[in-house]
Amino acid sequence: DIANNSSRVSWKATVDRDGAYRTYTYGNISNLSVWLNGSSVHSSHPNFDTSGQEFTLASGEVTIPHSGDGTKTFAVWASFDPNNG
């Protein structure tokens, strides 16, 4: 967005497991946090169940402002604890 000197950024947090072994968590006991550009953009306790396929835990879009010269470098950080032993 040139007029507002910003960009719309899409993100997606996924989990998968190598091989055909099942991994899962139910009961909202897992912890997921996603940060972009120094700000928390997502926090949840997702349930999931997968046997080797990619599973989307959460996704979204955020607007990131650019620097005065139109450029931008920003950090991406995510933490996921399945809490399933």
Q: What is the pLDDT of residues 5-59, one digit of tens each?
A: 999 999 999 998 877 788 889 999 999 999 999 999 999 999 999 888 899 999 9
List C-alpha distances in Å: 57 to 18, 28, 61.
17, 12, 14
Q: What is the pLDDT of residues 45-76, one digit of tens each?
A: 999 998 888 999 999 999 999 998 989 999 99
Each as own residue / partner, the long-range contacts of residues 41-49 (CB below 8 Å, 24 or more positions apart, any chain) are: 41/11, 42/11, 42/13, 48/15, 48/23, 48/24, 48/82, 49/22, 49/23, 49/24
What is the pTM for the complete model shown? 0.84
